[in-house]
Every structure is written in structure tokens, then in C-alpha cells.
A and B are shown apart, each in its own frame.
Chain A
Amino acid sequence: MMKQKEANPREPIFHIVKRDAIVWWKAWLIRAAAIVAALLVSAVLTVFLTGENPLDVFSSLIDGAIGTSRRFWFLIQNTAMLLCVALAVTPAFKMKFWNIGAEGQALIGGMATAACMIQLGDKLPYGVLLPLMFIASVLAGSIWALIPALFKAKWNTNETLFTLMMNYIAIQIVSFFASEWAVPKGSGKIGVINGDTQAGWLPVIGNQKYLLSVITVAVITVIMYIYLKYSKQGYEISVVGESQNTARYVGISVKKVIIRTMIISGAICGIAGFLLVAGADHTITRDTVAGRGFTAIMVSWLAKFNPLYMVLTSLLIVFLERGAVQISTSCGLNDSFSEIITGIIIFFIIGCEFFLNYSIKFRDKEADKQ
């Protein structure tokens, strides 16, 4: 394709053809090959930096991810949270609305939860407080997503940049309240909210702190799968994503779909914020969402916007992240090692998509000889 200026003027050495469809096992083979290649590169890098035996490195990766029951649950909880945010961005992305504001939407949802816990924790009974927190988070998240959607629908304002800015406004709002309600005053940190009364903490079921969050996310996953695949609204989202002109032609109101979908997207982000604050951290800082809003985009995109595949992709990313953290502690490396590994893996998976969509045809050797 790019070598057309070579000596042979008749035909380039290879050219690229778009594939119509690829057999499912071939697609998975290519993806698996990409992951293996990425792991090899990461292993070479790790061995180069630490000088350790590569097998030890991999065993400490697995140990870090699922070595103990505590680590295992931490892995599951982290996967569930990442999955929840990924589910939230999916309908928007399917509509080709580049919502990179999930970070802010989830954070503002978490902020709403924390605000209810702090302000109403000792005033309302548990049975009222918890639903109220949930509703507040969902509302906060959807409003945060609705604002860019309205501008997009009305004036076609660039949503990527708009949602990006909304992230930082949310972060500053959280910083503001964190220092306003700081305990002790002046520390700039809220600390564990209602540590003594546990008011507004998500109930512990089955002796597992995170089980309820995980179940909630599982339910959202199934609902989202059905919504996108079988509902009329889900179909409208795909049509708008494929071609806005087609959508208008068949009588779909593009504005309405954009606004409705973003409200859903923001609402699920709000739930993620609620689960993070009420179910896990019991506090809020500007880092509560911890970049999940951005990682979630990669999770959703790698899974081709299919909620069921997203379980796998989010598990893969969190697994590597937790594992790489373990490698860095056991080898005395810096924590950020996991970000490098995650980056490499994603580069490879992004790159392999090309080979799923296109095939490379080399010049026919026989024809060459004639």
C-alpha cells in the first residue's frame, strides 16, 4: 500500500484487502496470538529490568492476582468496578458519541453518595438513606452526562473535548468538598465516613464485603446485553452509530437518541461511583475512580462493545494490573510498572484488530515469473 513507488511499477509487493467476515476461531486465534506476543514482550522487558528468571516473573504475576483469598476478592471487585464503568460508556460509544467523561460522571456520582452519607448519615434510618444515596448518585451521574449531550444535540459541540473538561470540573468539585468537610479540619482528606455507625455502608452479604457490588454489576451486565441486542432503543443506538443520515431517513430522532443514551450512560457511571464509595472505599478523594473512566473505554472497545466479552477484557486488564503490582513489589520495582505492561498489552490488542479486519495479499509469485 505504501510501497507503490518501488522499482516494480506494475504491482506492489503486497496490498491490503478488507475482509468480509472472519471465521470466529480465526479471530480468536489472532487475538490470542496478540496477547501471547504482548506477554512475551512484557516478559522480556521485565527480565531485562530485573534480571529474574521469566518463569518466576510469571508465577509472581499469577500469585499477585489470585494468590490469596483476599487478593482474589480484590481482583473480582476491581474487575466488577471497571466492568461497570465500561458498561456505562458502551451505549454512548456504540452511538459514536465519544464520551471520555466517565471518570467525571462516576466521580460526581460517588460525590453525591459521600455527601448523603456525611450530611444525612445520622439523620435518616438506614432503610431510607441507602436508596436515597443510590438515587442521588444516579441523578448526579446522569446530569453530568446530560450537559455535554444537550450541547452536542443542539449545537454539535465536540463531545470528546467537552466530556474531558467535565472530568476536571468534577475532580475540582470533589477536591473542594474534600477540603470543606475534611476530618480533621485542614487535612484536605475526608477519611472514612461514618466509621463508627457504618451508616450508608453497603450491607455485607455472604460474609464477603464486595459480593453485593459484584452481583449488582453482574445484573447490569445482563440488562445491558439485552438492552443493546434486543430492545428497540438498542437498535436505534446502532443505527445512529452507523449513520446519522440513515437514522434520520428512517425517522429516528437523532437528538432524542443522543440525549437518552447519554442519560443512561451517566446513570450507570453514577452507580459505579455509588458502589465505589458505599461498597468499597467508604470515603471520597479525587482519585476514587482511579482512571477507570479511561481504562473502561479500552475495555469496551476491545470487547467490540459486547457486554459479555467485556467481562473477559476487564478481567484481563485487572488481572495484569494486579499481577504487575506484585511483580514490582517482589522485584523492588516502581509501582508504575503495571501501567507500562497494561500499555504494551493494549497496543498489541489494538494492533491485532487490523489483521481481523484486513488481510494482506502478497503478489502472486507465479505471475511474477512470466
Chain B
Amino acid sequence: MIATFIHRAVMQGIPLLFGSTGEIITEKSGNLNLGIPGIMYVGGISGVIGAFLYEHNLAGDPNPFLIIAIPLLSSLLGSLVMGLIYCFLTVTLRANQNVTGLALTTFGVGIGNFFGGSLIKLVDTDMPSITLSKTSSYFSKTFPFADNLGWFGEIFLSYSFLAYSAIIIALLASYIIKNTRAGLNLRAVGENPATADAAGINVNRYKYFATCIGSMVAGLGGLYYVMDYACGIWSNDAFGDRGWLAIALVIFAVWRPNISIIGSILFGGLFIIHNYFENLGMSAQELFKMAPYIVTLIVLIIVSMRNKKENQPPESLGLSYFREER
């Protein structure tokens, strides 16, 4: 029972982990990308389009390498394009980050639902969703021996490769940000771009790279959601508000990807905990769904009250950098 709960909490948490890791990398460069929800939609739908084209042009058995690689690469490509749009507007054209991000979310959710809806028409069924069972069966492969190991297997070994890569990417991001020269430079750009510029760091290049890499990581969250969590079924708006929750998780994790691993599982648990109370009415369930947001608010308030230096958002978060205006 508890093992099942943890298993399901992790499954819920992984998309959030991808999203928040991506957003942390982005925010460390001083870009507050509110387009993450849209980017995750695009990451999901691009993977679906890739998988759809491959599955429907397939004669015999799928090639195990291609059936993973095609959706993966198209998902990465889709979210990269979104990241580039954001960077071009905010870094090169110096537009307002909040407005650009919100427009990107509108655009991305539109793209997701539009192509989701159009692909459904292509397959000529009355189903309200696309089903990519073949691709999904490859994406959701777990360790074959997980079932034999009881609760241990269920908690630790029962996930697909994307779930483990989420955790690895988060740990790696933590390490790079904290311990490498590139990470130090990145933090310098996010804290004070003028100083970084004076020290000879190419501010725009760091902003571009961090935001694009962050977008691609976040996009994988959408891919994981469709291919593994939702068993290859894309239905419009099913992804819901997870993108915003991922942004909330960034605050919860006080801008550290390694904390966001635990945070994502906790959020995932809060997301589904209402199923585990017996006799809970429908309306009370709605109140329980408030939990992740309230927890985030409390963390946000505590962080700002304690005002510890190492727990603050990057100093120049949300501000564009103009060299000429120093």
C-alpha cells in the first residue's frame, strides 16, 4: 500500500522534476521563463507527432532504437525551438520576460492542443485521443526483475529510463551549477550580468545556452507524461497545470535541482493523496488539490522571511541585460 503510494507519487513527480530542473537552469541565467508550461506541452506533442508518423508508416515490427530515438529527438527539437523563440525575444530583442513567457505559454498550449486535435482527425476514429501503444510500450519498459523484489522493487526499480534520467539530469545540473567553472559563470550572469560582462563572460551566450538547455529538459517532462505516465495517450489539456506546478517547485527547491528531486516526489504525493482518504467527498477532494500550492506559498514566505543569502532567487531574475544602459 505504502509502496504503491510512493510509486505513484514518483510517477506524478517526474514531469514536475523535468520542468523544475529546466526552469532552475534557465533562472540561474537570470531569465524567468514563464513559458515553461507551454514548452512542456510542445515537448509532449512534438514527441507524439514523431512517434505518430513513425508508427503509422510502419510495416513490420518497430526498430527498438528508432522508436525511442525519433520521439525523443523530435521532442528535444520542439522544445529547443521554443527556447530559441524566448531567447531571441528577451535576450536579443530585450523584450519583457514576463510578457514573452506568458505569450509562449499561450502559444505552446495552443500548439499542443491544435496538433493533438488534428492528428486525431487524421486517424479517423471517434476516440477523443491519440493512442501510441507501441511507442509507449518501449518508453515505459522497466527493470525486468523489479516485480520479483517486492516493495524494494516497486519503490526503486519500477520506472522507465526517462524517469531515471530525470533524476540523473537533476543531480548533474546541481553539480554543474555548484562545482564547475561554467556553473560559476552562469550564476554570475544571473546574479549580476554587468559584473559578469566586465569579467569577460559572454552574457548573451550563457543566457542563450542555459535557456535552451533548460527548455529541452523541461520538454522531456511533457514527453515522459505522454509516453509513460499516460501510456501513450494524448488527450487535449490532459497535461493540465503541471507546468505551473513545476515553476512552483523551483521555489520549493530554493533553486537547487537536487532538492527538487525530493520536492517533486512530495508534490506528486500531494497531488494524489486525496485518493487515499476514505469517504472523502468530491468537494473535499478539490480542497486537497490545493495542497501543493499552499505548501509552495509557505516555503516562499519562509524563504523571504529568513532572508538567507544562499536561498534567494538570482539577483537579476526577470531583468533583461542591456550593456549600453549600465
Contact = CB atoms under 8 A, between A and B. Distances in A.
Given A98-B318, A160-B98, A294-B105, A336 B236 contact: yes
Interface string A316-343: 0000000000000000111111111011
Interface stretch (B66-74, B113-121, B165-173, B224-232): B113-121
B247 A343 contact: no
A242 interface: no
- Interface range, A side: 35 or more
B100 interface: yes
A252 B109 CA distance: 42
B183 to A, nearest CB: 23
B307 interface: yes
B301 interface: yes
Contacts of B284: 176
Nearest to B317: A158
Nearest to B119: A334
A281 interface: no
Contacts of B293: 165, 168-169, 172
Interface in B70-113: 85, 88-89, 92-96, 98-100, 102-113
Interface string B25-63: 000000010100000000000000000000000000000
A151 B301 contact: yes
A108 to B, nearest CB: 13
The main secondary structure of chain B at its interface with chain A is helix
Interface of A: 1-2, 16-18, 49, 98, 100, 151, 155-158, 160-162, 164-166, 168-169, 172-173, 175-180, 186, 188, 291, 294-295, 297-298, 301, 332-340, 342-344, 346-347, 350-351, 353-354, 357-358
Nearest to A162: B300
A339 B107 contact: yes
A55 B307 CA distance: 59
A155 B298 CA distance: 13
Given A160-B318, A161-B251, A169-B290, A336 B110 contact: yes
A177 B40 CA distance: 30
Contact of B110 (A337, A350, A357, A358): A337
Given A16-B324, A158-B304, A169-B290, 18 more contacts: A2-B92, A158-B251, A161-B248, A166-B297, A176-B284, A176-B287, A179-B283, A294-B106, A295-B106, A297-B102, A298-B99, A298-B103, A337-B114, A340-B114, A343-B106, A346-B103, A347-B85, A351-B93
Contacts of B296: 161, 165
B95 A350 contact: yes
Interface of B: 32, 34, 85, 88-89, 92-96, 98-100, 102-114, 116-118, 121, 204, 236, 241, 244, 247-248, 251, 281-284, 286-287, 289-290, 293-294, 296-297, 300-301, 304-305, 307, 313, 318, 322-325
Contacts, number: 162
Contact of B89 (A2, A301, A347): A347
B181 to A, nearest CB: 20
12 contacts: A17-B324, A18-B324, A49-B118, A98-B98, A168-B244, A169-B293, A169-B294, A294-B106, A334-B116, A350-B93, A350-B103, A357-B94
Nearest to B250: A161
A151 B304 contact: yes
A279 B117 CA distance: 32
A89 to B, nearest CB: 11
Nearest to A16: B324
A180 B285 CA distance: 11
Nearest to B298: A165
Contact of A294 (B102, B113, B304, B313): B102
Given A294-B106, A334-B117, A347-B103, A155 B248 contact: no
A298 B289 CA distance: 29
B317 to A, nearest CB: 8
Contacts of B100: 347, 350
Nearest to A168: B293
Nearest to B108: A343
Given A100-B102, A339-B106, A351-B95, A180 B283 contact: yes
B324 A158 contact: no
A338 B300 CA distance: 35
A175 B301 contact: no
A365 B121 CA distance: 56
Contacts of A165: 248, 293-294, 296-297, 300
A297 B85 CA distance: 19
Nearest to B115: A334
A16 B293 CA distance: 43
Nearest to B204: A2
